[in-house]
Amino acid sequence: MRCNALLALIFVLPSMPSVAQPAPIFGLAIHGGAGTITRATMSEEKENAYRAALTEALNAGYKLLKAGGSSLDAVAAAIVVMEDSPLFNAGRGAAFNAGGQIELDAAIMDGRTQKAGAVSAIRTAKNPILVARAVMDRTGHVMLTAEGAEAFARAQGFEVMSHEYFFTPNRWESLKKEQERIRNNRPESESTEERKHGTVGAVALDQAGNLAAGTSTGGYTNKMAGRVGDSPVIGAGTYAANDACAVSATGHGESFMRLVVAHEIASRMRYSGLSLKDAAHDTVMNKLKAIDASGGVIAIDARGNVAMPFNTEGMYRGQVGADGEFKVEIYR
Residue 177: its H or E element = helix 169-183
What letter does residue 2 receive in the DSSP assignment? H
- Would you mind telling me the total number of residues written for the chain in this entry? 332
Residue 154: its H or E element = helix 146-155
The total of other beta-carbon atoms located within 10 Å of residue 18's CB is: 6
Q: Which of 199, 211, 200 is nearest to 65 (CA)?
A: 211
Pairing of strands 104-110, 143-145: unpaired
Residue 153: its H or E element = helix 146-155
| Distances in whole angstroms, Cα of residue 97 to Cα of each of 136, 171, 220 | 27, 10, 7
Using an 8 Å Cβ cutoff, are 231 and 199 in contact? yes
Largest CA distance in the chain: 106
In whole angstroms, give the CA distance from residue 277 to residue 295: 16
Catalytic residue among 36, 124, 192, 199: 199
Q: Is 139 a catalytic residue?
A: no
The per-residue DSSP string of 82-122 comes to HHT-TTSSSGGGPPB-TTS-B-EEEEEEETTT--EEEEEEE
Single-letter code of the amino acid located at 232: P
Pairing of strands 200-205, 27-35: antiparallel
| Distances in whole angstroms, Cα of residue 295 to Cα of each of 21, 287, 289 | 41, 12, 9
In whole angstroms, give the CA distance from residue 263 to residue 251: 15
Q: Which residues are catalytic?
A: 199
